[in-house]
Amino acid sequence: MRCLIFCYSGTGNTSLAASFLKRHFEEKGIQTDLFIYQEPLKEIPDPSAYDLIGIGYPIHAFNVPEVFLRFLKKLPALKESKDYFIFKTSGEPYMWNRSSSYLIDKALKKKGYHLIMEKHLLMPYNIMFRYPDGVVKQMYEYLYALSDVVTKRLALGEKDQVKFPFSRRITSFFFRIEWIAPKVNHPLCHSRKKRCINCGLCISKCPQHAMYKNKKGVIKINNHCSMCMRCTMNCPKDAIFFGFMHAWRVNKPYNFVKLLKDPSVDDHYINPQTKDYFRHFRKYFKEQDEILAKYGIEVKKDF
């Protein structure tokens, strides 16, 4: 059995999930190739050469990022129907995320791709506010375990009937106005000369190839921006002014590996007694614990 995973990732949460899926698939003897969407595009693998297709993306305002949807719509039609699964990441477990994949399935169904499973995985925010270390560590550990569940279920031949509730599709439709935001916001974005050290990291790592340096040496963003926030999160000097989203930026990436190895960071931040904002996450983690127990998979503290 061979699996091909197409993945779009902004700050790296979704590509991390994809790498865990690849690892768990290959532990089960399933050869897996990973294609990370990034402009300019490299040669795209032929989906018809694989037995199973995976599609991963970060949820942007209860939707698939428009740039990734455009890419998926260009995938070739299949001569024979083929199963595919979706994994998606976001910073919250809210029900409005339930129909974020609707447009993907609508486009791929016409080309012979049959959706058999979807998994929503929580990872820390790259926008609005920084998550506490305990939450980050807990999400990272669960990401590894839950990606193992996904691969185990698929290896066993299990399939789900994935539905996109109409009421949630309406929510996604209205929030699709976010697709316009990058085109409005990008002229306001630039590097701040007093902070920028001209390391070029933002330009080289932008998944949309949307960043460039103008004649005055100021880094700017063109209209290909998808507002993934990779530049603002990874800038070592917090030098990117990100337009009207600037106040919501999160700077400095989460050091998952360091947190995993730090015993002083409690990885049970979200529990039945949690009272702060993350009390809204208790139901999600309770459900995931039940799924993990069903498939005999433990949340590991070291991997």
Domain co-membership, 80 together with 125 = yes
Distance from C-alpha of 235 to C-alpha of 181, rounded to nearest angstrom: 22
Asked, for residue 83, whether it belongs to a domain, the answer is yes
Domain co-membership, 195 together with 87 = no
Domain co-membership, 102 together with 149 = yes
Q: Where are the beta strands (DSSP E) in the chain?
A: 2-7, 31-36, 52-58, 82-90, 113-122, 189-191, 211-213, 219-221, 240-242
Q: Which of 200, 227, 222, 197 is nearest to 211 (CA)?
A: 222
Residue 34 CB coordination number (10 Å): 18
Q: Which residues pair with 31 in a beta bridge?
A: 2
Domain co-membership, 36 together with 164 = yes
Up-side HSE of residue 6: CA atoms within 13 Å toward CB? 23
SS3 302: coil
Residue 248 CB coordination number (10 Å): 14
Asked, for residue 253, whether it belongs to a domain, the answer is no
Domain count, the chain: 2
Q: What is the CATH number of the domain that holds 240?
A: 3.30.70.3270
Whether the CB-CB separation of 65 and 8 falls below 8 Å is answered with yes
Domain co-membership, 190 together with 171 = no
What one-character DSSP code corresponds to residue 279? G
Asked, for residue 255, whether it belongs to a domain, the answer is no
Whether the CB-CB separation of 126 and 60 falls below 8 Å is answered with no
Asked, for residue 265, whether it belongs to a domain, the answer is no
Q: What is the CATH number of the domain that holds 32?
A: 3.40.50.360
The DSSP result for 119-156, as a single string, is EEEE---SBSSPPPHHHHHHHHHHHHHHHHHHHHHHHT
Domain co-membership, 82 together with 161 = yes
Whether the CB-CB separation of 67 and 206 falls below 8 Å is answered with no
Asked, for residue 102, whether it belongs to a domain, the answer is yes
Whether the CB-CB separation of 13 and 123 falls below 8 Å is answered with yes
Asked, for residue 257, whether it belongs to a domain, the answer is no
Domain co-membership, 17 together with 111 = yes
- 103 lies in which domain range? 2-175+281-294
Domain co-membership, 84 together with 213 = no
Domain co-membership, 288 together with 148 = yes
Token duo for residue 270: 């979200």
Whether the CB-CB separation of 282 and 272 falls below 8 Å is answered with yes
Asked, for residue 193, whether it belongs to a domain, the answer is yes
Walk along the chain (303 residues) and give the pLDDT tens digit of each residue.
999 999 999 999 999 999 999 999 999 999 999 999 998 888 999 999 999 999 999 999 999 999 999 999 999 999 999 999 999 999 999 999 999 999 999 999 999 999 999 999 999 999 989 999 999 999 999 999 999 999 999 999 999 999 999 999 999 999 998 899 999 999 999 999 899 999 999 999 999 999 999 988 899 999 999 999 999 999 999 999 999 999 999 999 999 999 999 999 999 999 999 999 999 999 999 999 999 999 999 999 988
Domain co-membership, 100 together with 241 = no
Distance from C-alpha of 167 to C-alpha of 99, rounded to nearest angstrom: 9
Domain co-membership, 131 together with 207 = no
Domain co-membership, 151 together with 189 = no
Asked, for residue 299, whether it belongs to a domain, the answer is no
